[in-house]
Structure 1
Amino acid sequence: MSSSHSFREAMSHYPTGVTVVATYYQGRAVGITANSFASVSLEPPLVLWSVAREADRAAAFLESKSYSISFLNKEQEGIAQYCADNEDLPPGRWSENAQGFPVIDGASVVLDCRQYAVYPGGDHDIIVGEVMGISQTDGRGALSFYKSEYGKLG
């Protein structure tokens, strides 16, 4: 196998959507940008995403039993970058939904999830969540990530 750098470069050629996963941890709303997201199952409805074990917020999501996943719309690049760089959610850009989850305001879709399973995956942990609720807004397109740059779809 080639180096991790060449693997990362190769994987950058696969376009993905951009999500922010958010939870409450130690009394704070914590978020992380994730493009390692996929659906897993329809019955029960399951999704997965992964977090680097060395990430400063890994414990928040590994210990949390519930979290939200916000699909960012094409105008939310700033939020994606903020949540990639900062542990707390961006001030004034999130709220708590009716089910008590911290969510990104204006996201195209929000999934309310309950932790279903965690699996080791190399230097990451794969977190599988059962979708307990779904909310959608208008179709404002999607934020994408390709070759280490944000893009806009729709």
Structure 2
Amino acid sequence: MSLLLFPDGEYFAIGAINYAYRPAITSDTTNRIIIVVYVEDCITEAVLDTGAPYPIIAPKVAKQAGLDKVEPLERKTMLVRGMRLEGSIIRLNMTLPADEGEDLTVDATAFIPDVEEYWGDFPSFIGQIGFLERIRYAVDPATDTFYFGLLG
């Protein structure tokens, strides 16, 4: 694995991580890109989902990271995987731990569903708004590598 460069020699990515390409849960029939991420100091797996409006933190992970005690920026109802879920929009740090290069911590805006039993065994999701829009990224399916870097 090596990090990507622009034509002028500047780095496109500061880090890279290998991802798994498999169903997110046992009942899923579609493979997903799944990466390791730290939600605050809590390590978890998350599905990379460019269609998700925010990172969505599984309630169990949010509780482990102490995010259930954070004052929300706003309350919201979101349609997630066919379910209307009430929850909180909060700010938090999410870190992509590099297998090569440097880790990248993002000041993210995320949604946390209120009720854990509705969420079930779904993993967390990394969405476009509030996370991916704040970084530069590329996916290499030939090597199952997710590259990430700073914008600007």
TM-score range, shorter chain: 0.3 to 0.5
Task: Say which structure is richer in helix.
Answer: 1
Rg larger in 1 or in 2? 2
If the length of structure 1 is used for normalisation, what is the TM-score?
0.39
If the length of structure 2 is used for normalisation, what is the TM-score?
0.39
